[in-house]
Chains A and B, each alone.
Chain A
Amino acid sequence: MSKDVIGSVMVVGGGIAGMQSAIDLADSGYYVHLVEKSPSIGGAMSQLDKTFPTNDCAM
């Protein structure tokens, strides 16, 4: 069985969801290819100032 299974995952999109997925997968023992079309990760969240409902800085 293990011969057929490839221990890597491609995550398409490096926003908050993609990054969290990638972190969890990597910490769980899988090699992750995180694919992001823009030059940096962070996605839409990096465009935000603060976040609700805690008013934490989005960065």
Chain B
Amino acid sequence: MGNRTAVFKPYAQAVPGAFSISKKDKSPCTNACPGNVNAHGYVSMIGEGKYKEAMEIITRTLPMPGVLGRICPHPCEDACRRAQVDSPLSICTLKRFAADQVDINDLTVPEITPRDEKVAIIGAGPAGLTAAYFLALDGFNVTIFEALPVGGGMLRVGIPDYRLPPSVLEKEIAWVQKLGVEIQYDTVMGKDITVDSLTEEGFKSIFFGIGCHKDIKLGLPGEDEVENVIPGVKFLRDAALGDMKEIKGNVAIVGGGDVAIDAARTALRMGADKVSILYRRTEAEMPARDEEIEDAKEEDVDIQFLRAPVEIVAENGKLTGIKCIQMELGEPDESGRRRPVPIEGSEFIVDADVLIPAIGQKSDASFLKNTDGINLNRWGNFDVDQITYQTSREGVFAGGDAETGASIAIAAVGAGREAAISISRYLKGEDMAAGREKLEIPQQNFNAIPQKAKKIPRAHMARIPMDQRKSGFTEVELGFTEEQARQEADKCIDCMVCCECLECVKACGAKALTKETHEEKDRELELNVGSVVISSGFSPYSPKNLDFLGYEHRPNVITSLQFERLLSASGPTEGHVVRPSDHKEPKKIAWFQCVGSRENNRCDNAHCSSVCCMYAIKEAVIAKEHDPDLDASIFFMDMRTFGKEFEKYYIEAKEKHGVKFIRSRVHTINPVGDSGDLEIRYVKENGELIVDIFDMIVLSIGLEISPELKKLAKQFNIELTQGSFAQTATMNPVETTTPGVFVCGAFQGPKDIPQAVVDASAAATAAGELLAPARNTLTKTREIVPERNVIGERPRIGAFICHCGANIAGVVDIQALKEYIQTLPYIEYVESNLYSCSQDTQTNMTEIIKKHNLNRIVVAACTPKTHEPLFQETLINAGLNKYLFEMVNIRNHVSWVHKANPDQATEKAKELIRMSVTKVGLKAPLKEAKLNVNQNALVVGGGIAGMSTALSLARQGYHTHLVEKEDRLGGQALNLYKTWKGEDIQQMLDEMVQQVGSEENIQVHLSSTISQVDGFVGNFKSVISSKDGEEVVEHGVANISTGATEYKPIEYCYGNSPRVLTSLELDQKMMANDPMVNSVECAVFIQCVGSREPDRPYCSRVCCTHSVESALEVKKRNPDAAVIVLYRDIRTYGERERKYIEARKAGVIFIRYSLDNKPTVRVEEEGVIINTTDHVLGQPVEIEADVLTLATAIVPRKEEALAQYFKVPMNADGFFIERHAKLGPSEFATDGVFLSGLAHYPKPIDEAVAQGKAAASRAVALLAQGTVTTNGEVASIEPMSCSSCGTCVSVCPYSAPSFIEEGRFAGKSEINAALCKGCGLCVSSCRSGAIHLNGYDNDQIFAMIGVV
């Protein structure tokens, strides 16, 4: 939504924190230039008004910008993609414009290191001048030998002055001479000099750029004898040199190329009465440039087509005319042009006083002797190596027209430059060809052509009036005005993005960017790896094809991802929510759900994207936080808030924040005039048609897999699902169909962050299981910066203030803060940063700490909860003890809460910082202890998740105790029939149980429970109790996977009839092949039984899919059965949606009910009678069912004892609380204790397996370290002051204090640093004042209070 330049950093806190340069494929203009001139670069500079820079770019590859800017046939323009909008840019004339603005001789002459070697260049044309220029830049001693009295070759004597004034050429030749090139005129090869003479004179290398100055003859009798037959090239040369000043009578010119046109227009200017061009084909085939043909016609040159000369008509040796024959076009020849065929008997005579044959020219190297050893090809051109331009004689090179035959000047320039590179390498003794193979540069991936680009006509130069044109040689075209040039240049669409102007190289003071780094290309690396994890994510669905929504046409229709950027402080509006059309704050926003999801009509995404319902609610809630008066409506089909704490979030959005939820899929968005407002029509649930107007509409776009990722999948031979996600099996949810290749994140299926993180750890451990024998074979140990001893030093405090974008700086006056901090005692250094957490700021901080010899650091920024470890790491890298640090939260505690009072907020920030500065001065370095980690594991709960954890741990070499309270392994999975993918659960479970049984690293304890746990991370000691007694096991880590149970309903007549079942009971009957389900005629399912109710305000996640699957199974067993599902929202998330579609197709009827109008059930003799209201018709319905299945809630076990033992928390529902909803979903905040399966939250088998593996992964990451480091900020006891009261021992929730058993201080208390969490409970309860909390000692706290 914002504009990004070619040099960019994705966002302020990006890691790595460096800038990068985007380059797409080489810009077509630059790519098309035979002279390799960076057209994109100079056009960009002209657009910016940087004309000198433009000239610097041009002269990198071309010494004659003004010349080529006038006469180049500009292949660049043919390639220009602007043509797709209107017409190609006038690139060539822009080049002339740059040369018109800046005198080339005012450019800085680069520093040249002179060399001794002499190089001879034969010919001062474009090839020779260019070769000389680059050789001179390289320091060589260059002399150009030119046969004519003037320089420029064909540029001077072949192109008439009205197209290229000699002064322009002379200026640019002077520029070449300025670099030290010497030019000897009137020096003819073969006459004045020879190859041998040059060699004798000490020239180490020779370059031939002699051009094509010899006319090709018509081959008609009398051509050489008849007076007034003047060959074209000779004519132009004579005219240019002033050898011929006048021409009279009728002039006939034969030919159709540039020379013919130039000759015609020159003849006209020299006084000819009439000028005709005779060309044997038609205008379409004419090789002359179209502009030239037009100009000639404008000047009244008579161009006659389809006539070929057959005879020169002369009287007394004097020309009177030319006999021509009429031609017609036949079949195309080898050049692709239609071949002219004479029409027999059609001869006629054209009267002419002068005949100028201009049918071509060739090179004349007749001066060469056989002994020179320089070969020519069959056309008489120099035969050279196509890469190096070296001839058959070593050290002798050739290029330009003399090598190619007559061609364009820019090609000669290119050849001259290439030859110069070869000559330079040759003379330096380097490999001439190395790295110069001609590569096909891909031309596919370009900057997109802007949709909104306006059509602007191509700029044209002003010209001198016609009378002046015909009467003299004044330059016809006058160049662009500055306004024209800037406008023309601004039309460039930056195909490559970066224009390679290299201005950034000039600007980079740190020399991080050099010409070399700028030129870095993609490199191919070959990696040998043991395994691959593909986590390439999703690509957001682009709604531009859904024309009825008008995305991209209506500025205020944006995607949810764009809305995220609008909300974000680092976004284009710095977190200010405004509508794109007029930057007004929207007062009414609608969210449209399921855009590109659950949609296989306009796109191929039948799946549910799983996350959109939640993110839309979140966006609505946050938007309402920005503006509490905002009217926010979410239009949805089913509200799918199935994750942990999601349902509560939904309810809060509705009830607390007032977000409106409207169940309707809206079709069209119509603009309301030019207001930017958007009108929609929708039908409410009661059938009422509503027309409503919104300021802005957010499209909740779905997740899909990019074509690129599909291609990658193919390369890895990975099978994909119907929705193109990676195919996985329920029991191996992160394993692709290719062994050793694992998958996690959205590529495995659309999912939210917590699930992606679970999968990620699972994939890591799955790879780990495979590679266990090679563990630690390739890893390196990090070097630790030695810690500086600061004890006894006077405090030297550095303070760093964070703007946090606008988060803090938008409220707090940072400058005032900085000035204030300068005045505080012991402050040595103060600075502020846009984002202190960014990588470059961290690197910078390390340097500053070292440079200023700082020994205490204060960071005033956000919360230490998330960012303290980062800054402490920086201290460590700077050689400081990480506890010599204080963090002040001036975001949460200041800018966020005192937004309305910026002045007071600044004052508060000053106070808080003063307190921390005072405290940090008193801080002392603290020590951390290292403790060994016991390499055994304990897994509590032998269901799917527990077994999955145990297997992963065991396979990676860790001995694991698996404790199950039942007498068999399997947990709830024992009750389940099939997965939604159709796999037989009992069969899979059997296999898993067998694997556990045969794994020698797993010790299974059945019918056992945990009765006591002591210790801490790395050193747990637990008691496993069973009827056979107690066993004490020592273990470094523990995993809790104790599962959950099924809700036994009290509603819907459950228990009153054998026909009323729970979902699990139905599964049992299906497994048993019970006739009751096989012959059922009417089966009804009621969803959300016990879930999403005030008592259990959470969604049980699995029941919708389960009932859909069971409904299909009933249909499969008896296709005639009526199957009805009564639901509130169908939550078949991800690709489970396909099952829902399948069920509807199979005839399963879905009737929605609401919480305030639940179905009622009564049991009658003949069946179960269910009464509900049809949501479409609004009519009451009565159903008589044979079987009623209640999709009951999953209920946590509320394992209080276990929670106590491991000191882990449970939420209000009774599910265990993970360390972090997103970043630590499979572990507890208590170190060394992990979590998986239903004990965490309801989940299907695949997710339980994944989380089981994830818990193992997190555990292995800890076990593999071998040691744990204790926190330095722990309590410590002065035994001398301890009164042995035991209060600390009893109050500590972590059992850290204990009595010393023996020795001098027996009976006194001591603290186990490994258990202490530094909470301070013991400190405050110690009546003797014997306990101190390191880092929070009394003097520090009192000092802080003292300065307030």
State the A residues within 8 Å of B (CB).
Answer: 1-2, 5-31, 33, 38-56, 59
Beta-carbon contact of B757 and A17 below 8 Å: yes
B1229 at the interface (CB under 8 A from A): no
Bound Cα distance A22, B950 (Å): 22
| Contact yes or no, A52 B778, CB < 8 A | no
A27: chain B residues within 8 A (beta carbon): 1260-1262, 1264-1265
CA distance A12 to B540 in the complex (A): 18
On whether the beta carbons of A51 and B753 are closer than 8 Å, the reply is yes
B968-1016 interface (Cβ within 8 A of A):
none
The answer to whether B13 touches A30 (Cβ under 8 A) is no
Contact B779 A5 (CB under 8 A): no
Q: Which of B144-152, B524-532, B846-854 is found at the contact surface with chain A?
A: B524-532
Give A52 to B564 CA distance when docked, in angstroms. Answer: 12
Does chain A have a CB within 8 A of B649?
yes
Give 10 CB contacts A-B under 8 Å.
A6-B778, A10-B532, A15-B745, A17-B746, A21-B744, A24-B768, A30-B775, A40-B11, A40-B15, A46-B11
For B536-550 the 0/1 string (1 means CB < 8 A from A) is 111010000000000
B7-61 interface with A by 8 A CB criterion: 9-11, 13-18, 20
On whether the beta carbons of B537 and A44 are closer than 8 Å, the reply is yes
A52 touches B529 (CB 8 A): no
What residues of chain A lie closer than 8 Å to B341, measured between beta carbons?
none
CA gap between A8 and B714 in the complex, in Å: 23
| A18 and B16 within 8 A (CB) | no
* Other A-B pairs, 14, CB within 8 Å; known A10-B533, A51-B753: A2-B773, A8-B527, A10-B532, A12-B535, A15-B535, A17-B745, A20-B756, A20-B761, A21-B760, A28-B775, A30-B768, A30-B779, A51-B1222, A55-B622
A7 contacts B533, CB within 8 Å?
no
When distances are taken between beta carbons in the complex, the residues of chain B under 8 Å from A20 are: 744, 756-757, 760-761, 764
- Give the distance in Å from the alpha carbon of A16 to the alpha carbon of B770 in the complex: 23
A24 touches B761 (CB 8 A): yes
Binds A, one of B126-134, B395-403, B613-621: B613-621
| Distance between Cα atoms of A20 and B755 in the complex (Å) | 12
Whether the Cβ atoms of B536 and A12 lie closer than 8 Å is yes
Q: Are B745 and A53 closer than 8 Å at their CB atoms?
A: no
A26 to chain B: which residues have CB within 8 Å? 779
Q: Which of chain A's residues have a CB closer than 8 A to the CB of B571?
A: 49
Q: Are A5 and B773 in contact (CB under 8 A)?
A: yes
Query: Which among A5, A27, A59 has the greatest number of chain B C-beta atoms within 10 A?
Result: A59
Name the A residues within 8 Å of B529 (CB-CB): 6, 8-10, 33
A8, B530: Cβ atoms under 8 Å?
Answer: yes
Which of B640-648, B1044-1052, B1157-1165 touches A?
A: B640-648
Q: Which of B13, B648, B747, B778 contacts A31 (CB 8 A)?
A: B778
Contact B771 A7 (CB under 8 A): yes
Q: How far, in angstroms, from A59 to B861 measured CA to CA in the complex?
A: 14
Ordered nearest first, which 4 A-B pairs have the shortest CB separation?
A: A17-B745, A7-B774, A27-B1261, A20-B760
Given contacts A12-B534, A47-B561, A59-B13, is CB(A21)–CB(B753) below 8 Å? no
Cα–Cα, bound, A25→B398 (Å): 60
Q: In the complex, which residues of chain A have a beta carbon less than 8 angstroms from the beta carbon of B20?
A: 39
Residue B767 lies at the interface, judged by CB distance under 8 Å to chain A: yes
Q: Are A7 and B530 in contact (CB under 8 A)?
A: yes
C-alpha gap A43/B15 in the complex (Å)? 11
B1221 on the A face (CB < 8 A): yes
Give the residue among A19, A23, A51, A56 with the most B Cβ atoms within 10 A.
A51
- For A54, give the chain B residue with the smallest CB separation: B1221
Quick one: closest B residue to A44, CB to CB?
A: B537
Candidates A6, A28, A42, A48; contact of B1260 at CB < 8 Å = A28
**Docked CA distance A7–B770 (Å):** 10
**B756/A16 in contact, CB under 8 A:** yes
Contact residue among B16, B536, B564, B764 (Cβ-Cβ distance under 8 Å from A24) = B764
Contact A24 B765 (CB under 8 A): yes
Q: For residue B537, which residues in chain A have a CB less than 8 angstroms away from its CB? A: 13, 15, 17-18, 43-44
Interface check B1189, CB cutoff 8 A: no
Knowing A28-B764, A45-B753, A54-B1221 are in contact, say whether A18-B535 is a contact too (CB < 8 A).
yes
Asked whether A38 lies within 8 Å of B10 as measured between CB atoms, the reply is yes
> 1/0 contact trace for B491-533 toward A, CB 8 Å?
0000000000000000000000000000000000001111111
CB distance from B63 to the nearest CB of A (A): 37
A43 to B10, CA, bound (A): 11
Q: Which B positions have Cβ atoms within 8 angstroms of A?
A: 9-11, 13-18, 20, 527-538, 540, 561, 564-565, 567-571, 575, 614-615, 617-618, 621-622, 643-646, 648-649, 712, 744-747, 752-753, 756-757, 759-761, 763-765, 767-768, 770-771, 773-780, 956, 1221-1222, 1257-1258, 1260-1262, 1264-1265
User: Which residues of chain A have C-beta atoms less than 8 A from B536's C-beta?
Assistant: 12-13, 18
Q: Contacts A7-B776, A11-B533; is A21 near B764 (CB within 8 Å)? A: yes
How far is A45 from B13 in the complex, measured between Cα atoms in Å? Answer: 13
Q: Bound complex: CA of A9 vs CA of B567, how far in Å?
A: 37
CB pair B16 A40 closer than 8 Å:
yes
What residues of A have a CB within 8 angstroms of the CB of B756 in the complex?
15-17, 20
- By beta carbon, the residue of chain B nearest A25 is B764
**A7 to B532 alpha-carbon distance, docked (Å):** 11
Closest to A43 in B: B537
Q: Are B535 and A53 in contact (CB under 8 A)?
A: no
Closest chain-B Cβ to A32's Cβ sits at a distance in Å of 9
Q: Would A29 and B15 count as touching, CB distance under 8 A?
A: no
Chain B, Cβ-Cβ closest to A14: B535
Give every chain A residue within 8 A of B775 (Cβ-Cβ): 7, 28-30
In contact, B564 and A53 (Cβ under 8 angstroms): no
Docked pose: A39 CA to B567 CA in angstroms = 23
Q: Which residues of the other chain, A, contact B644 by a CB distance below 8 angstroms? A: 53
In the bound complex, CA of A27 to CA of B18 (Å): 25
Contact, CB under 8 Å: A46 / B622: no
Which residue, of A18, A23, A41, has the highest number of chain B Cβ atoms within 10 A?
A18
Q: How far is the CA of A6 from the CA of B531 in the complex (A)?
A: 8
Nearest opposing residue in chain A for B567, CB measure = A49
A10 to B744, CA, bound (A): 13
Q: How far is the CB of B759 from chain A (nearest CB, A)?
A: 6
A40 and B14 contact, CB distance less than 8 A: yes
Residue contact B528 to A8, C-beta cutoff 8 Å: yes
Chain A residue contacts of B567, Cβ below 8 A? 49-50
Residues of A contacting B17 with CB < 8 Å?
A: 40
- The CA of A44 and the CA of B1261, in the complex, are separated in Å by 26
**In the complex, chain B residues whose CB is within 8 Å of the CB of A50:** 567, 618, 622
Q: Which residues of chain B have C-beta atoms less than 8 A from A54's C-beta?
A: 645, 1221-1222
Cβ contacts under 8 Å, B1257 to chain A: 24, 28
Q: How far is the CA of A53 from the CA of B877 in the complex (A)?
A: 35
Q: How far is the CB of B733 from chain A (nearest CB, A)?
A: 13
Q: Is the CB of B643 within 8 A of A53?
A: yes
CA–CA, A27 to B712, complex, Å? Answer: 27
Please pick, from A10, A29, A46, the residue contacting B776 in the complex, using a CB distance under 8 A: A29
Measured between beta carbons, the chain A residues less than 8 angstroms from B1262 are 27
The docked-state distance in angstroms from the alpha carbon of A10 to that of B17 is: 22
Inter-chain contact A28/B13, CB cutoff 8 Å:
no
Q: How far is the CA of A12 from the CA of B747 in the complex (A)?
A: 11
A53–B648 CB distance below 8 A: yes
**Distance to closest chain B CB from A59 (angstroms):** 6
Residue of A nearest to B540 (CB): A44
Closest chain B CB from A23 CB (angstroms): 8
A21 shortest CB reach to chain B, Å: 4
Give Cα A28 to B957, complex, Å: 12
Q: Are A7 and B565 in contact (CB under 8 A)?
A: no
The CA-CA distance from A2 to B756 in the complex, in Å, is 31
Pairwise interchain contact B777-A17, C-beta atoms closer than 8 A? no
Q: How far is the CA of A15 from the CA of B712 in the complex (A)?
A: 17
Chain A residues closer than 8 Å to B761, beta-carbon distance: 20-21, 24
Contact call A6/B532, Cβ cutoff below 8 A: no
Which residues of the partner chain B approach A31 to less than 8 Å between Cβ atoms? 778-780
Q: Which of B527, B745, B779 meets A29, CB within 8 Å?
A: B779
A47 to B13 CA separation, bound complex (whole angstroms): 11
- Candidates B570, B621, B643, B760; contact of A16 at CB < 8 Å: B760
* Contact pick for B767, options A12, A25, A42, CB 8 Å: A25
